[in-house]
């Protein structure tokens, strides 16, 4: 499903040395896998997710999705592949401020050509499952951070992607909501969704059959554990 081949990413530094955010990272993720990426702040987790998500071209190396080298595609074709196959949940949410919650979630479905009514119904159902039934008409600026996070999660899933890339999906949620999101991810994965989640939350690491740890832009370890009980 996803392959990173010797991916490195160097950001130009501001008045200083360039930042080497990823160094020679190789990773193979099969269809249906549930992979958790952990590592300290600044270790390159978001950079890895952006590169895998067809949004950030590596400085070196290549990224293959279903055997297609995505950065050799034209920007238009790459965007289309991203819309069709990938769901992306940003660490900073990136919701559209002048649209309501339900419109934010429905928007990618409408862009994909589904009817407004069907898209809005699907969006409402997803938001209700995460306890936002009272907030459907609110704009992102009227929501708490945890509420925005759940809206962003629903939006990433509305087009039924093959692979979900989620950056800290429970970073601002309390225990009960974290449980709900973890359960939701487990259900989605059982239904065949490939998931890569970046998290500080050991609950994900615990339920995850495979955990990759980044350190200073390098894969420090890549553990596949049956039962996912490695990080107790």
Give contact residues for ligand ATP (rule: CB under 6 A).
Answer: 11, 19, 21, 39, 41-47, 91
Nearer to ligand ATP, 19 or 81 (CB): 19
* The residue count for the chain: 232
- Nearest approach, Cβ of residue 9 and ligand ATP (Å): 8
Nearer to ligand ATP, 186 or 203 (CB): 203
For residue 45, give the nearest of 224, 213, 222 by alpha carbon: 213
- Nearest approach, Cβ of residue 122 and ligand ATP (Å): 30
Q: Sketch the per residue contact string, 10 through 49, with Mg ion: x for CB under 5 A, - otherwise.
A: ------------------------------------x---
Contact of residue 150 among ligand ATP, Mg ion, none (CB under 5-8 Å per partner type) = none
- For the chain, where are the E strands, in sequence order? 2-11, 19-29, 34-38, 60-65, 68-69, 86-89, 163-167, 194-198, 210-215, 218-224
Contact of residue 148 among Mg ion, ligand ATP, none (CB under 5-8 Å per partner type) = none
Q: Sketch the per residue contact string, 147 through 186, with Mg ion: x for CB under 5 A, - otherwise.
A: ----------------------------------------
DSSP result, 3-17 = EEEEEEEEEPPSSSP
CA 169 to chain CA centroid, Å, is 8
Q: Is 91 exposed, middle or buried (0-12, 13-18, 19+ CB in 10 A)?
A: middle
Can you say whether the dihedral through the CA atoms of 208, 213, 219, 223 is positive or negative? negative
What's the token pair of residue 190?
A: 């059982």
Query: Do residues 78 and 70 touch, judged by C-beta distance below 8 A?
Result: yes
Contact of residue 42 among Mg ion, ligand ATP, none (CB under 5-8 Å per partner type) = ligand ATP
- Determine if 199 is a binding residue for Mg ion (CB under 5 A): no
Write the CB contacts of 93 (distance below 8 Å, at least 6 apart in sequence).
Answer: 140, 148, 149, 151, 152
Nearer to Mg ion, 54 or 127 (CB): 54
- Nearest approach, Cβ of residue 121 and ligand ATP (Å): 34
- Nearest approach, Cβ of residue 1 and Mg ion (Å): 22
Contact of residue 199 among ligand ATP, Mg ion, none (CB under 5-8 Å per partner type) = none
Binding site residues, Mg ion, CB under 5 A = 46, 91
């Amino acid at each position: 499903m996803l392959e990173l081949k010797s991916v490195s990413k160097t950001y130009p530094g501001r008045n200083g040395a360039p930042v080497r955010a990823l160094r020679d990272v190789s990773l193979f993720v099969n269809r249906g896998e549930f992979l958790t990426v952990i590592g300290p702040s600044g270790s390159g987790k978001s950079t890895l997710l952006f590169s895998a998500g067809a949004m950030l071209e590596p400085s070196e190396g290549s990224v293959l999705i279903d055997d297609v080298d995505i950065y050799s595609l034209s920007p238009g074709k790459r965007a289309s592949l991203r819309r069709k196959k990938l769901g992306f949940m940003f660490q900073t949410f990136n919701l559209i401020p002048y649209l309501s919650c339900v419109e934010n979630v429905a928007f990618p479905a409408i862009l994909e050509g589904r009817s407004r009514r069907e898209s809005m119904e699907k969006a409402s159902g997803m938001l209700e499952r995460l306890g936002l039934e009272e907030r459907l008409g609110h704009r992102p600026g009227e929501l708490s951070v945890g509420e925005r996070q759940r809206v962003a999660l629903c939006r990433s899933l509305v087009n039924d992607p093959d692979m979900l890339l989620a950056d800290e999906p429970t970073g601002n949620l309390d225990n009960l909501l974290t449980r709900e999101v973890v359960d939701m991810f487990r259900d989605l994965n059982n239904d065949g969704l490939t998931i890569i989640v970046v998290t500080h939350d050991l609950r994900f690491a615990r339920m995850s059959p495979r955990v990759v740890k980044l350190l200073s832009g390098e894969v420090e370890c890549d553990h596949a554990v049956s039962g996912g009980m490695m990080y107790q």
